[in-house]
């Protein structure tokens, strides 16, 4: 019985790793799809990581650094964050 419990524990850890790898692949595929440029060659979306491990996706209204933007981010030990910024980069709404 103890052997079965050990094997089940190992299987659950492996399954967790596979789920994480699958989620990472999904994010990378979404990044490739979303990382298009507009007709003027401007960047309309940016996916990146910060030094602490936070992953963030920024969507721009008119291009990189122009107009309004939406930031969606999640850290390794934090809740997801959603931020709306005006054309001057000031936060106009955020959650949480």
- Give the separation between CA 82 and CA 71, rounded to whole angstroms: 6
Q: In terms of domains, do 45 and 19 share one?
A: no
50 with 76, same domain? Answer: yes
Per-residue confidence (pLDDT) for residue 10, from 0 to 100: 84
Residues 49 and 63 in one domain: yes
Give tens-digit pLDDT for 2-55: 888 888 888 888 877 777 777 777 777 776 666 656 667 677 778 888 888 888
- Report whether pLDDT(56) > 80: yes
Domain shared by 30 and 47, yes or no: no
Number of domains in the chain: 2
Alpha helices in the chain (DSSP H): 2-34
Kindly state whether residues 78 and 92 are assigned to the same domain: yes
Q: Are residues 47 and 75 in the same domain?
A: yes
* Closest-CA residue to 72 (of 54, 87, 52): 54
Q: Which of 22-36, 55-69, 76-90 has the weakest average pLDDT?
A: 22-36
pLDDT tier at 93 (50, 70, 90 boundaries)? very high
Considering the domain architecture, whether residues 19 and 44 belong to the same structural domain is answered as no
Query: What's the CA gap between 40 and 54, in Å, rounded?
Result: 30
Same domain, 48 and 81: yes
**Same domain, yes or no: 51 and 16:** no
* pTM as predicted: 0.55
For residue 10, the enclosing domain spans: 1-34
Decide which of 73 and 34 is more confident: 73
**Res. 95 pLDDT band, cuts 50 70 90:** confident
What does the alpha-carbon distance between residue 30 and residue 55 come to, in Å, rounded to a whole number?
13
Spatial contact of 81 and 95, defined as CB atoms under 8 Å apart: yes
Residues paired with residue 46 on neighbouring β-strands, in sequence order: 58
């Amino acid at each position: 019985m103890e052997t079965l419990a050990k094997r089940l524990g190992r299987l659950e850890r492996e399954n967790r790793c596979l789920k994480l790898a699958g989620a990472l692949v999904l994010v990378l595929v979404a990044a490739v799809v979303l990382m298009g440029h507009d007709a003027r060659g401007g960047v309309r979306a940016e996916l990146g990581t910060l030094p602490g491990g936070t992953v963030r996706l920024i969507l721009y209204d008119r291009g990189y650094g122009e107009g309004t933007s939406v930031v969606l981010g999640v850290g390794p030990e934090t809740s997801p964050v959603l931020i709306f910024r005006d054309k001057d980069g000031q936060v106009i709404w955020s959650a949480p």
